[in-house]
Chains A and B, each alone.
Chain A
Amino acid sequence: MKKTGILKAGLVGLSMCLAGTAAAEPVKVGMITTLSGGGAGLGVDVRDGFMLAVKQSGNKDLEVVIEDDARKPALAVQIADKMIQSEKVDILTGIIWSNLAMAVIPSTVSQGKFYISPNAGPSQLAGKGCNANYFNAAYQNDNLHEGMGAYATKAGYQKTFIMAPNYPAGKDSLTGFKRFYKGELAGEVYTKLGQTDYAAEIAQIRASGADSVFVFLPGGMGIAFMKQYAQSGVFKPVMGPAFSFDQGILQAVGQNAVGVKNSSHWSKDLDVPGNKEFVESFQAEFGRLPSLYAVQGFDAANLILSAMSKADVNDKEAFRAALKEADIQSPRGAFKFNKNNHPIQNIYVREVIKEGDIYTNKIDSLALENHQDAYADECKM
């Protein structure tokens, strides 16, 4: 099941060296991401976004090794060890899921390697467990839920029913929502992780008299919930983080998701420099619209590329400083690192719409401006 895609770019860079051209030290990046099984859509988007940035840069000194973790923590750890010890990568990236990230990142950074996260942002690594060699190019896990909580307060909802799967990220989600939501809760339910039938929960929503519903149900769980909710005849507005309403899965939910408000740090119609070009080039290259995962992969690659242009990767101090500057033009607009190396960025509210035959999102409003996570102060760095 392993797939190894190796960019042979390094060789070209080497020959340029021999020809006497001055070139920076080549950098080897190991990407461990999910390319098979149920969650593969996310990993594919991160990989494609990342490789798009590499291709656009034309930088021949960047070599990327890609392997599939099949969403298994043990496999991810094994690949990470192999990449660090026998392939001698300088930087690791690519992991989608927080439990895999927790298994790989601490040991990677303690071995003096850099880790750039294109998705997972567990709270443990944002607060006391922060590390100078760990940069998160996506978000801290709570951020989007906090944005939705702020929106629910602003929209004047008084009785929101909130629901998430019973696992660490699910608990972080509801905690994040409640941190910014000022109304009352009509109910708070934890479902089984991977649950696909929500009849019992929808009946509770109906009986609770809620005026709105907040759900964090990533991937297939969200698809199942939205389809069943639409059939139930409970017509209260639904909100959630972008994970349940992103480009990759909206087509599978279809009409049932139209009108849903969701929070994201990026949207395809966001009017910032570079976003339009990013969306168009991604579409031209891969024949589909990018998702927020693609943006995160794209930004992770650009962070590495920008640092490469300023510093030698073997000079850890200088490379770290160059990464921290975040000198990139992100499709999501203003982007900078907080002191815990997690992003300070805007969180927007998007609305699901139908555009031609495609279901997608449009920007509705700004939820939180220059938002930073709640754990930065615990980080001693």
Chain B
Amino acid sequence: MTSALIIEQLLNGLQFGVMLFLMAAGLTLVFGVMGLINLAHGSLYMVGAFACAAVASYTGSFWLGVVASLAASAAAGALVEVTVIRRLYNRDHLDQVLATFALILIFSEGTRYLFGSFPLFLNVPDMLAGPISLPGGLQYPLYRFAIIVVGALVAFGLYLLISRTRLGIRIRAGESDRAMIAALGIDIRLLYTIVFALGAALAGLAGALVGAIQSVQVGMGEPVLILAFVVIVIGGIGSIKGALVGAVLVGVVDTLGRFLLPQFFQLFMDNAQATSIGSALASMSIYILMALVLVVKPKGLFPANG
């Protein structure tokens, strides 16, 4: 095992974490501000990926596809907020889970109806294709590197948005006391729609970026959604900072677990058994991490409301 391999795996974990952050940021914002559990967040991720693939294959430009994915998922988010989600804010979480689960089914079958049952083609743009050489003779896919950069920029942008702008002040105020900011004359309905569309756009962006190196197909959002929930539980529900830390933590633990656990068991077991036990344990690693975090800090690492 060389140090180059370990550094490559750390970068992989970081890239995975950054992608999870894009998903978790929207989820945690929506939960923090509106108190809503949105299971359909994964569907918005799928909408972003399909919009990107469709526009990219029509125009031949990946970048137009990314713009389209932002627009389509934000529009889908706003539409869903106005028609369905808005009626759920005052209901209990079980109603929200049921209604947004129904949205998953509607989005999935709707997408299948529009695009057919076969996965769509979306490839990385030529200028980001292939590997780059990093110091130490390490080869790393340029596109994954670009995802890390985009994720870092988005995290920084969100930080500026929330700490430096009027919208950010309102979002923070909404997190701490919903009734009060409504009483202060802020159009809370509009604020909710904007926050929801923002979260949707981030999910759509994640879908488009990841769609280029994964499979653009119906149902692609749900596995990511589960991980995003793990991330916000670890990070503290409602906290953007928590989402970032949680996402990177989950990304690195998952990647290193998949890579190191089977090798660890090989030290004192035969190969086949070690592989099978190691990979079984690796798929549990992030849930074990979540359990440990919750034992030490029951509200997550950075609880939003104290």
Contact = CB atoms under 8 A, between A and B. Distances in A.
With a 10 A CB-CB cut-off, give which of B12, B109, B217 has the most chain A CB atoms.
B217
B279 interface: yes
B192 interface: no
A204 B255 CA distance: 11
B5 A207 contact: yes
A206 interface: yes
Measured as residues with beta carbon below 8 angstroms from the partner, the interface class of chain B is 35 or more
Contacts of B119: 41, 219-220, 223, 248-249, 252
A338 interface: no
B283 A166 contact: yes
B12 A200 contact: yes
B275 interface: yes
Interface in A224-272: 224, 227-228, 231-233, 248-249, 251-256
Interface stretch (A15-23, A99-107, A144-152, A185-193): A185-193
B108 A37 contact: yes
A36 B272 contact: no
Contacts of B217: 38, 219-220, 223, 252
Nearest to B251: A197
A200 B8 CA distance: 8
A201 B258 contact: yes
Interface residues of A, number: 42
A194 interface: yes
A194 B275 contact: no
A195 B141 CA distance: 19
B130 A203 contact: no
Given A188-B275, A189-B279, A252 B121 contact: yes
Nearest to A203: B8
A251 B118 CA distance: 9
A143 B116 CA distance: 30
In this complex, the member of A194, A231, A254 whose beta carbon has the largest number of chain B beta carbons within 10 angstroms is: A231
Interface string B211-240: 011111111100100000000000000000
Interface in A1-41: 1, 35-38, 40-41
Identify the interface centre among A40, A189, A190, A203: most chain B CB within 10 Å of its CB. Answer: A203
B112 A224 contact: no
Contacts of A219: 119, 215, 217
A64 interface: no
Contacts of A224: 213-215
A365 to B, nearest CB: 28
B275 A231 contact: no
A196 interface: yes
A206 B139 contact: yes
A206 B279 CA distance: 19
Contacts, number: 137
Contacts of A169: none
Given A191-B279, A231-B130, A252-B119, A220 B5 contact: no
A231 B213 contact: yes
Given A196-B223, A227-B214, A40 B117 contact: yes
Contact of B259 (A40, A194, A204): A204
A252 B120 contact: yes
Interface centre among A189, A224, A251 (most CB of B within 10 A): A224
A44 interface: yes
Contacts of B259: 200, 203-204
B169 interface: no
A190 B279 CA distance: 6
Interface in B98-153: 105, 108-109, 112, 117-124, 129-131, 139, 141-144
Contacts of B124: 227, 231
B218 to A, nearest CB: 6
Contacts of B218: 37-38, 40
Contact of A166 (B12, B120, B279): B279
B38 interface: no
B16 interface: yes
Contacts of B123: 227, 254-256
Nearest to B129: A231
B276 interface: yes
Given A166-B280, A207-B1, A254-B121, A194 B108 contact: no
The 4 closest A-B pairs by CB, nearest first: A233-B131, A220-B215, A199-B12, A223-B215
24 contacts: A35-B117, A36-B108, A37-B219, A38-B218, A40-B112, A166-B283, A196-B223, A197-B16, A200-B255, A203-B8, A203-B259, A204-B5, A204-B259, A206-B5, A207-B5, A219-B217, A223-B214, A223-B215, A227-B213, A248-B118, A249-B215, A252-B118, A252-B217, A256-B123
Given A41-B119, A228-B214, 9 more contacts: A41-B117, A190-B279, A196-B220, A197-B16, A199-B16, A199-B255, A220-B217, A233-B131, A253-B121
Interface of B: 1-2, 4-5, 8-9, 12-13, 15-16, 105, 108-109, 112, 117-124, 129-131, 139, 141-144, 210, 212-220, 223, 255-256, 258-259, 262, 271-272, 275-276, 279-280, 282-283
